[in-house]
Structure 1
Amino acid sequence: MTCAIIDYGSGNLHSAEKSFQRMRREAGGPEIIVTADPEVVRKADRIVLPGVGAFADCQAGLMAAQGMVEVLRERVDAGTPFMGICVGMQLLATVGREFGETPGLDWIPGAVTALTPSDPALKVPHMGWNELHIDQPHAIFDGVQAGAHAYFVHSFHLTPDNMAHRLAHVDYGTEVTAAVGRDNIIGLQFHPEKSQRTGLDVIGNFLNWTP
């Protein structure tokens, strides 16, 4: 069994791989492979899509990886567990509205828009630790304690059309989506690889999750 972390030129791959490898040792699960090869992704039992930077740049990088989007759609449609992280989570939306409009994968219908905290003292980007509020019980949060904190770095956020797809949020002058999901798809706005025990527990849950 393998978990493929996709290398498409965007994402903190070293830190992500290190955290996934650690949780594989602690909690078991599939072999961790960082890959840019769609055929490796096609054979994977779990898929992780990281992302750092602007929505349009990440989408362009993903589209430029020949055959990757087609394989992702094929595997997700087949029920393969999938996790998007940070901009990798935002790409699950219908559209990103950062420097114009850029279509997303449309797996979690909704839009990615600029953070606009109601309190002018709150700076953008939203950077640092924030308390998770779980909206929908999900196996991905098994063992995560109430009031757990996660680490965020972002200026845009995904608002799902169907709030049943919002699994968790944080407060930052407004409610900001922290996690989304449906069926075999999970998206995390926070960085689990930077979120200490909370993030490691989420990674371990994903590696052993059966949707």
Structure 2
Amino acid sequence: MKIVIINYGAGNIQSIRFAIERLGYEAVLSNDVEEIKSADKVIFPGVGEASSAMKMLKATGLDAVIPTLTQPVLGICLGMQLMCNYSEEGDTKGLGIFNVDVKRFENIVKVPQIGWNQIKGLGSKIFNDVKEGAYMYLVHSYYAPITKETIATTEYGVQYSTALQKANFYGVQFHPEKSSTDGAKILENFLNL
């Protein structure tokens, strides 16, 4: 199985690569369009700020390629947010895969949300053998509201989408690579799709 982690200069891609290696697989880091298109599974990570990350995607032409992929694609953290229509962070137009706009948390909660929080309403094969209410590790100031594409939610001042799915595209707000055995199980489930 060929697993490609999109390397566009925004992300903690090494920790994702190590998590995949712990599951017994190899992953290639690449921003090469043909290599990404030929992958069996694509992971689209992201840490940082939305508008600068989007500029990096546009500079490599990946903004046009990612929405056309037909194999399973997993967006993680900022990767998931960039798969949405729009983000309030940096007034950024997203890839338009998920039909939702990303918003900033209200000032009623400490921002960013950093640490462990529960995921609920699990509604996808990527959550097979993960218990309702499992704890995942999150670091973010922006969130995707609940939408028809929501497959898991988390509560932090507001109930929001902690995971999204549309066809072959999956997105998780949490970091499965940093979320212990349940996070590893979600990555494994994605690789087994």
TM-score, normalised by the number of residues in structure 1 = 0.87
Question: Per-residue CA shift, 1:91-114, capped at 9, x if unaligned?
Answer: 111111113x21100010110110
Q: Distance in 2 between matches of 1:74 and 1:105?
A: 10
Partner of 2:22: 22
Task: Tell me, yes or no, if structure 1 residue 171 matches structure 2 residue 155.
Answer: yes
CA shift, 1:164, in A, is 2.1
Amino acid at match of 2:67: R
Query: Alignment partner for residue 132 of structure 2, among 143, 146, 151?
Result: 146
SS of the residue aligned with 1:176? strand
Which structure would you say has the larger RCO, counting Cα contacts within 8 Å and 6 or more residues apart? 1
Partner of 2:53: 58
Question: Per-residue CA shift, 1:21-64, capped at 9, x if unaligned?
Answer: 212x1xxxx64111121121011111111001111111111111
Partner of 1:44: 39
**Structure 1 regions of 5+ residues with no counterpart?**
none
Amino acid at match of 2:74: M
Query: Alignment partner for residue 156 of structure 1, among 142, 153, 160?
Result: 142
Deviating 4+ runs (over 3 angstroms): none
Partner of 1:87: 78
TM-score, normalised by the number of residues in structure 2 = 0.95
Is residue 77–residue 173 contact of structure 2 (8 Å, CA) maintained in 1? yes
Identical columns (%):
35
Partner of 2:13: 13
Q: CA RMSD in A?
A: 1.4
Is residue 145–residue 159 contact of structure 2 (8 Å, CA) maintained in 1? no
Amino acid at match of 1:112: V
Partner of 1:114: 104
SS of the residue aligned with 2:144? strand
Amino acid at match of 1:40: E
Q: Which has the larger radius of gyration?
A: 1
CA shift, 1:190, in A, is 0.3
Count matched residues.
193
Q: Distance in 2 between matches of 1:133 and 1:40?
A: 35
Q: Distance in 1 between matches of 2:132 and 2:143?
A: 23
Amino acid at match of 1:98: E
Partner of 1:196: 180
CA shift, 1:20, in A, is 1.3
Q: Distance in 2 between matches of 1:31 and 1:134?
A: 31
**Structure 2 regions of 5+ residues with no counterpart?**
none
